[in-house]
Structure 1
Amino acid sequence: MTDPSPEIALGLAALGRPSYINLGRDGVHRSPDELRALAHATLDAAWAAGVRRFDAARSYGRAEEFLGSWFAAHPDHRADATVSSKWGYRYTADWDPDAAVHEVKEHTLAHFRSQWAESLDALGSAPELYQVHSLTTDSPLFTDQALLAALAATAAEHGTRPGFSTSGADQADAVRRGLDLEVDGERLFTAVQSTWNLLEPSVGDALRAAHDDGVLVLVKEGVANGRLVVDPPAAVVAVARRHGVGPDAVALAGILAQPWADVVLSGAADPDQLRANLAATGLELTDEERTALAGIAETPTGYWTRRGALPWV
């Protein structure tokens, strides 16, 4: 029996706040009302294209609010949609594109409780998946038994799946350690959302093992925060020309080809970007193309150093 095709989801990181680490964005810093309209238009385009999964976070500015207001305008959509969100980062820029700090991370019980309440209020209902945002191996969460118990209890009470996202050069270790956590003898997290793309595939083995163990695997930052679109390597350009698609579609097709990927996020910043991303679903890479694309991978340390230097635009 073969695994079902991966599901495309729309991630709202670039649609909920005026600045994000996303090269290729148009650079226009919109007002909340303008960005709400753009978010709704992109959500409309996603729904029309068959996308039924949407991903947000407390730190994505007003992304949860925009998604919740879109559902309020389309109440028939909510039952057919799957919503994931994240807690752990707090948005601090207050809509200032030149802010010195855009978000602050805090993995504590008090922060979880306050952000869970905020997510419920903004979304209008409990998300199907609620994730620890950017779990790294140095997070205090690993030894905070009260927090772990609260995560399990909240998930059970609201029927929400608990998960976590990862970032950084030690993602693979974070994935393995996170999935080893238990509460009352039961695995706590049953979903993981990690960065995997043609430039940074190092977490692949850990995600494959997680998928084979029944964990839901979501993949984020598939176009490497725009790097694979703005300045794509020659191998990506060659495949894109051969298939008549953009480099973004090639990058996402590389993820869709992974048998362990259950959900692949598009981080589109507008409807046109979304439609370009969705061309990946009809693109089948040859073995020769996949080999060529595998050759562009960077070292994890090099990749994350470059990512850390990208501007908020």
Structure 2
Amino acid sequence: MPFARLATATTPTCHIGLGLAAVGRPGYINLGRDEDLGADRSVEALRTRTHELLDAAYAQGVRYFDAARSYGRSEEFLAGWLAARPDVDDVVVGSKWGYTYTADWTTDAEKHEVKDHSLATYERQRAETAALLGDRLDLYQIHSVTPDSPALTDKELHARLAEAAAQGVTIGFSTSGPAQADAVRAALAVTVDGEPLFRTVQSTYNVLETSAGPALAEAYDAGLTVIVKEGMANGRLAGPDAPEALRAVAAETDQGCDAVALAFVLRRPWAGVVLSGAATTAQLASNLHAAVVDLDEDRLARLAALAEEPGAYWETRGRLPWH
């Protein structure tokens, strides 16, 4: 598996990856975007910002980069960065299919993305991804699988995904929503010719939303690489609005709330890659301090006590505005 390369990295940040959801398009639900991105969100401005982030991440030991068809032009930006740096051959590139970006580079679209896990969408988006990333694509994930997703039962789709796997692309899936654990367990049962189809799982896990933890541990035990997204809860765990207990631990450890929040995730024994969703190089640098945050058992317990009921967490997330 390509993720084996991460295990041999020599820097402590090898388990932190960079997700491009916040910089591949002008609108997203992360808090603080007005301050992070400013007024100029043109294609060229975000292309430049993405390349600067990728440069900074690579220089500091990050080796996994995560895009998606629905992240605006994230695949295009990442492909351009890779093409300009032919000597960069030790990174792992992941992307996702299953959502189509529909906002037309605006922040106030009625719909920013449309979900469809059909075989037809897979074939269309796989061709689109291939046109941009070609053989640099290591991992292709079904985007936001839920327990009722047809992607879990479509045998023809499974066969096509297995064909891609036979050609060298690792096949994975991501999850979202209050029933993430159920989705993970259902996906673990999907096989083709008696062999497990999925080799990676990407799920939301943070100090506010820990419900997928037991299922992710099961996935890890089954041999899957676990990627954690939204470790910052879309910005809810950063800055002065972060929960008081998190701010207290940050003060005790002399680190930012963001680094402490990501360190909490890194302490999970099943967490293979934890994504930074940084929109600025300063945020990225702060996120990477997660590798050295000192979290003793008392601090871990105080952070764990912040967990919300999954339905309430996802209801709050669903109300976050695109901006």
Measured against the shorter chain, the TM-score band is: over 0.9
CA drift of 1:126 comes to 4.3
C-alpha distance in structure 2 between counterparts of 1:177 and 1:289, whole Å: 33
Q: Report what 1:85 is aligned to.
A: 95
Q: Report what 1:51 is aligned to.
A: 62
Match of 1:197 among 183, 200, 206: 206
Matched, 1:24 2:35: no
Counterpart of 1:294 in structure 2: which amino acid?
A
**8 Å contact from structure 1 (residues 179, 190) kept in 2:** no
CA drift of 1:168 comes to 0.3
Matches within 5 A, 1:1-313: 7-25=15-33, 26=35, 28-29=38-39, 30-77=41-88, 79-157=89-167, 159-230=168-239, 231-313=241-323
Instruction: Provide TM-score, normalisation by structure 1.
Output: 0.96
Deviations 1:186-235 (A, max 9, x none): 11011100000000000000001111121110000000000011421111
**8 Å contact from structure 2 (residues 253, 294) kept in 1:** no
**8 Å contact from structure 1 (residues 195, 220) kept in 2:** yes
Indicate the SS of the match to 1:125.
Answer: helix
C-alpha distance in structure 1 between counterparts of 2:127 and 2:146, whole Å: 24
- Between 1:170-179 and 1:135-144, the stretch displaced more is 135-144
Aligned residue pair count: 308
Taking every aligned residue pair, what percent have the same amino acid on both sides? 57
**8 Å contact from structure 1 (residues 24, 229) kept in 2:** no
Q: Give ranges in structure 2 of 5+ residues lacking alignment.
A: 1-6
C-alpha distance in structure 2 between counterparts of 1:160 and 1:201, whole Å: 29
Instruction: Provide TM-score, normalisation by structure 2.
Output: 0.93
C-alpha distance in structure 1 between counterparts of 2:294 and 2:228, whole Å: 18
- Between 1:146-155 and 1:167-176, the stretch displaced more is 146-155
C-alpha distance in structure 1 between counterparts of 2:135 and 2:24, whole Å: 18
CA drift of 1:127 comes to 1.4
Counterpart of 1:23 in structure 2: which amino acid?
L
Deviating 4+ runs (over 4 angstroms):
none
C-alpha distance in structure 2 between counterparts of 1:276 and 1:268, whole Å: 9
Deviations 1:21-45 (A, max 9, x none): 1112225350000100000001111
Deviations 1:80-123 (A, max 9, x none): 01001100000000001111110000001111011011111122
Q: Report what 2:4 is aligned to.
A: none
C-alpha distance in structure 2 between counterparts of 1:205 and 1:143, whole Å: 23
- Between 1:224-233 and 1:295-304, the stretch displaced more is 224-233
C-alpha distance in structure 2 between counterparts of 1:124 and 1:165, whole Å: 22
